[in-house]
Chains A and B, each alone.
Chain A
């Protein structure tokens, strides 16, 4: 089921709000999780809204301060919802959600996933410190309508987005290949999506959706490839140590990551607890030892534990107080590792995670020469 929802004066945000309001007032969903700008307009957070009058979200507002998938995990990890809840989340977050369901960290029972074509998001500080007269949503709209290059405003993960079009959502809000002056596209991909759209007035969509999607995806792929090859020099212990030089072991990157879910991360555990004698012993190894130690060990281990499910949302980088451009390494590492294990995170909900699959006849050259 698909069709256009017409809006007045190209006001997509209000049109979406009306649609979501209908979902709530019809009683088909009990609540809606959706990004909502805070009263001063300089920030936005996912908000769980039950009162249709409290809606007022701006779907075009280009900001992703925290992982929406993590918030769905927070709500559903102990028990799924008894009544339908809608969640409006970005494509990378749908991918993350698909992965964390596989990791048993979220329960999709009665969750209707609504996602949108994503023009990209800005770093929290870029978003909230816009120069006088500049409005983030206008920048996005200008890009969507006129193709203006807005890369300077976007986070690196969004400039090189792995896929800005939702896959595995129940409903898609389509912005690409759509005449946004007249309205936006809505598509239901599943039964629960169709149920939610029942009775909504849809006009025929006339446009070349597939062609537009191929264009957007192709553009992002090319940028991602160029990004990866421009980072090739970050290789070898000298470059790698320099890269993580500013890391203060705060583990914010891990806390912000939708995939890193361990309640007790090994790095916060007592596994490497030691005593003064052992520290001195280790210092004697090299004659000098950095305190705290283990920043690089943390990063390489974290990659080993989660990189196959990394959806390249860039939330780790956004969370880093030292402004380390973490995606510079994470994207190439994710690309190569996911290729090697033949896995595309977030794509197929039924495909098993690579680390729980075992086959006798594979990677022979690694075990035996």
Chain B
């Protein structure tokens, strides 16, 4: 069996991180192919249900990408998203469900390199963590 390749689901904000990811691509910046990107209109539109569902259906990690503080297209969506992630991680932690698999990061439309670095860092971290055990239970 080859090395464990984590599956990462990325919910990326249309106005920043998604464009940043696009820029990484068009600038031919190398980053691991482990991320599956879902474009959303704002980091605040990612209800925890989608993050948890991804973790149950086989994702090893979930990345939420939003605009930098002060830059959200909808003024304060990213602050609300951050609080939601704080809450989600806290709940997962109490349940012993590896909150380290959920990330939220700020990547602007011009930060192609930062997007690539973030994905690289995340893939390395999740590789060390190992496969997500949640999907091993079929009866959840």
Verify A367–B137 contact, CB threshold 8 A.
no
Chain B interfacial residues counted at CB < 8 A: 42
| A residues adjacent to B (C-beta < 8 A) | 234-241, 244-245, 266, 282, 285-290, 293, 295-297, 300-301, 303-305, 307-308, 329, 332-333, 336-337, 340-341, 354-360, 362-363, 366-368
Verify A240–B95 contact, CB threshold 8 A.
yes
Beta-carbon nearest neighbor of A339 in chain B: B90
Residues in B100-140 with C-beta less than 8 Å from chain A: 104-106, 133-140
Min distance, Cβ A192 to any Cβ of chain B, angstroms = 35
A sample of 24 cross-chain residue pairs with beta-carbon separation below 8 angstroms, ordered by A number, consists of A234-B96, A236-B133, A238-B137, A239-B96, A241-B139, A241-B140, A244-B140, A286-B135, A297-B52, A297-B56, A297-B140, A301-B48, A301-B52, A304-B91, A308-B87, A337-B94, A355-B83, A356-B80, A362-B82, A363-B82, A366-B85, A366-B86, A367-B82, A367-B105
Does B41 lie at the interface of the complex (its beta carbon under 8 Å from any beta carbon of A)?
A: no
Asked, given contacts A241-B137, A341-B83, A366-B82, whether A307 binds B106 with beta carbons under 8 Å apart, the answer is no
With beta carbons under 8 angstroms apart, the residue of A241, A296, A304, A336 that contacts B94 is: A336
Does B70 lie at the interface of the complex (its beta carbon under 8 Å from any beta carbon of A)?
A: yes
Give Cα A137–Cα B70 distance, bound, in whole angstroms.
58
Verify A297–B49 contact, CB threshold 8 A.
yes
Verify A297–B84 contact, CB threshold 8 A.
no
With beta carbons under 8 angstroms apart, the residue of A238, A266, A307 that contacts B91 is: A307
**B residues in contact with A357, CB < 8 Å:** 83
Beta-carbon nearest neighbor of A360 in chain B: B69
Give Cα A329–Cα B56 distance, bound, in whole angstroms.
19
**A residues in contact with B134, CB < 8 Å:** 237
| B residues adjacent to A (C-beta < 8 A) | 47-49, 52-53, 56-58, 66, 69-70, 76, 78-80, 82-97, 104-106, 133-140
Asked, given contacts A237-B137, A285-B57, A355-B83, whether A368 binds B105 with beta carbons under 8 Å apart, the answer is yes
Verify B95–A329 contact, CB threshold 8 A.
yes
The 10 closest A-B pairs by CB, nearest first: A235-B96, A358-B79, A304-B48, A296-B140, A236-B96, A358-B76, A301-B49, A241-B137, A288-B138, A340-B90
